[in-house]
Structure 1
Amino acid sequence: MALRADWLPALTAFESAARHQNFAHAAEELHLTASAVSHHVRKLESRLGVALFQRHARGVSLTAEGRQLADAAGSALADVEGVLRSLRGAREEHDRVRLTTLHSLAYTWLMPRLPAFTRTHPQVRLSVDTEIALTRFDDGGPDLGIRHGPGHWPGLTSHFLMDEALFPVASPSYPALPDIRTPADIARQPLISDHARQGWHDWFRGANVHGPRLDERYSFSDTTDAMNAAVHGLGVSLARSRIAAPYFERGELIRLPGPELTARWGYFIVYPAHRRLRPAAQTLVDWLLDTVRS
């Protein structure tokens, strides 16, 4: 007997009822009524010419024929469900982009812009890794990264994304704020730094403040932590223009006297030179580049 398409609803209802040994529970699982499940089962029994359930006051139980069909139907539907899940997962994986970048950039620059990307490209699924360690682009690793550096890394294709500038900031409520009128006044404050190679000594040299004995009292591995330390009034932080922008928008930090020093390094989109980007990853690269141009 050929299995026609109109048998599938009845087999699905029967398989669920057989697992639960209860029509009401099967109905709940399938978003049907108990009477609809019962109708499907009776239709199946009529076509097969055998009773699949024994019906009694406390519910139903499978007959021998019902048990035989339940085993076969359960196995077949589980196989189909497994294939569907695999195909769905393959589609989702095809549309997933794994991006590695700095936590500070993800938090202050990328995150506020992602809603616009999602509205334009809702099919792309994004996984963001912000580990401090320099990520290797092995098989199964990230598709691309946004790195802060000179722009040249062995084995990687690199696209310039944007530059940045350095300048001092403090909280508007910082107690010593009235005493800070020149860059030399900043040198007498508790200073907050991050682990970037270009820091306070470079800025003071650019501000023509020579020979100060600097009190770099607080140092953080992440730039956003250095910004937050300034927000809480611990001292003066050397801000990076791309990272500091949301702190200015929220009124949590203000810029102090002194020059804006062009940073030695910028931000670059990188990915393995030997590997062609998948369409979803290329979509993200194009959007990032368009974002900084607009």
Structure 2
Amino acid sequence: MGMRADWLSALAAFESAARHQNFAHAAEELHLTASAVSHQVRKLEARLGVTLFRRHARGVILTPAGRQLADTAGTALADLESVLASLRPGRDQRQRVRVTTLHSLAYTWLLPRLPQFARLHPDVRLDIETDVALTRFDDGGPDLGIRHGPGQWHGLAAVRLMDERLFPVASPQFPGLAAIATPAAIAASPLIADHARQGWHDWFRLADVHGARVEPRFTFTDSTDAMRAAAAGLGVALARGRIVQPYLDAGQLVKLPGPEMPGRWGYHIVYPAHRRLREPAQRFVDWLLSLDTQ
């Protein structure tokens, strides 16, 4: 059965009536008369050869066939509206900024600071995308990103945002916490790690602990999960200072004896080197750089 152009108006009328369970309310939403909505629905029922609504005095009730079509039509029309909105060069889209970053940084560092940005720039709309993979900044992609790394990526301009430091942490309720008085004692504890390229081997070397068998008991892809595991008392985690601070402030984790290790890499604001940032994206970058990151 081919889809003719005039089916769209009938499906829109049906979908609205299905949501409201009432032709009059659907008519108000679509700026039509109730009889026009009813006519569109009956036309659709005739073409399909099925009954979509059971009529009663106070409104309508979907039949099983109607429920099946309503679920699909609602999703399809919502998707279509979303695409049309993204193509429309309206004010909302011009003021929308897409930012990609790591989930751990968004959750523990960026989100607590966003209320300030919202107060200063109420007209800017932010889409925050989190992924461990390196995002492509092609046409239609994010405006900018915040990445953790050496500061040099092919085709990207990079502005250093802040440095990092690493140190061991554990839950205040971690069994045997009182006995951990030296870095060597940490080596005998269950260790928690993430997939960062700088980890426990580097820290024990800096702490002058030699000969320790560094075999993490738990390893997580994301630093946030490693922090939550430590807060749950599963072991000792090597925390990144930017990620762990909310857990320290809340008393869920405490620092353990030993040195703070300077991070080999820092956090950088990145964007395509071949194009200038749009004005709202530049405002977001300026705000990031104005934050106290000491």
Q: Normalized against structure 1, the TM-score is what?
A: 0.71
Contact conserved, 1:96 with 1:125, CA < 8 A, in 2? yes
1:258 aligns with 258
Query: Which residue type is aligned with residue 235 of structure 2?
Result: G
> What aligned pairs does 1:107-146 form with structure 2 within 5 A after superposition?
107-146=107-146
How far 1:154 sits from its partner (Å)? 1.0
Aligned residue for 1:292, secondary structure, equals: coil
Query: Which residue type is aligned with residue 291 of structure 2?
Result: T
Structure 1 residues 86 and 231 mapped into 2: Cα distance closer, same or farther (>3 Å)? closer
Identity %: 65
Query: Which residue type is aligned with residue 126 of structure 1?
Result: L
How far 1:89 sits from its partner (Å)? 5.7
2:175 aligns with 175
Aligned-partner Cα distance in 1 for 2:188–2:167: 16
Q: After TM superposition, where is structure 1 displaced by more than 3 Å over at least 4 residues in a row?
A: 84-89
1:292 aligns with 292
Aligned-partner Cα distance in 1 for 2:95–2:252: 38
Contact conserved, 1:161 with 1:292, CA < 8 A, in 2? no
1:96 aligns with 96
Aligned residue for 1:142, secondary structure, equals: coil
Aligned residue for 1:215, secondary structure, equals: coil
2:158 aligns with 158
> Which structure's CA Rg is the greater one?
1
Contact conserved, 2:170 with 2:255, CA < 8 A, in 1? yes
2:226 aligns with 226
Aligned-partner Cα distance in 1 for 2:155–2:211: 41
Aligned-partner Cα distance in 1 for 2:265–2:107: 19
Query: Which residue type is aligned with residue 263 of structure 2?
Result: A
> What is the RMSD of the two structures over their aligned residues, measured on CA atoms?
2.7
Aligned residue for 2:275, secondary structure, equals: coil
CA distances 1:209-261 after superposition (whole Å, capped 9, x unpaired): 01101231100000000000000000000000000000011110000000000
Query: Which residue type is aligned with residue 118 of structure 1?
Result: A
Structure 1 residues not aligned, in runs of 5+: 1-19, 31-83
Q: Normalized against structure 2, the TM-score is what?
A: 0.71
Contact conserved, 2:192 with 2:230, CA < 8 A, in 1? yes
2:275 aligns with 275
CA distances 1:136-174 after superposition (whole Å, capped 9, x unpaired): 100000000000000011111110000010000000000
Aligned-partner Cα distance in 1 for 2:225–2:85: 41
Query: Which residue type is aligned with residue 218 of structure 1?
Result: F
Query: Which residue type is aligned with residue 213 of structure 2?
Result: R
Contact conserved, 1:171 with 1:230, CA < 8 A, in 2? yes
Please say which of residues 206-215 and 136-145 is displaced more in the overlay. Answer: 206-215
How far 1:87 sits from its partner (Å)? 9.5
Contact conserved, 1:97 with 1:143, CA < 8 A, in 2? yes
1:238 aligns with 238
Please say which of residues 211-220 and 186-195 is displaced more in the overlay. Answer: 211-220
How far 1:179 sits from its partner (Å)? 1.3
Aligned-partner Cα distance in 2 for 1:213–1:123: 54
Aligned residue for 1:178, secondary structure, equals: helix
How far 1:86 sits from its partner (Å)? 8.5
| Alignment pair present for 1:184 and 2:175 | no
Structure 1 residues 293 and 187 mapped into 2: Cα distance closer, same or farther (>3 Å)? closer
Structure 1 residues 87 and 221 mapped into 2: Cα distance closer, same or farther (>3 Å)? closer
Aligned residue for 1:205, secondary structure, equals: helix
Contact conserved, 2:98 with 2:128, CA < 8 A, in 1? yes
Aligned residue for 2:251, secondary structure, equals: coil
Query: Which residue type is aligned with residue 285 of structure 1?
Result: V
Aligned-partner Cα distance in 1 for 2:103–2:270: 16
Contact conserved, 1:152 with 1:158, CA < 8 A, in 2? yes
Contact conserved, 1:207 with 1:258, CA < 8 A, in 2? yes
How far 1:183 sits from its partner (Å)? 0.1
Contact conserved, 2:162 with 2:293, CA < 8 A, in 1? no
> What aligned pairs does 1:10-25 form with structure 2 within 5 A after superposition?
25=24
Contact conserved, 2:147 with 2:270, CA < 8 A, in 1? yes
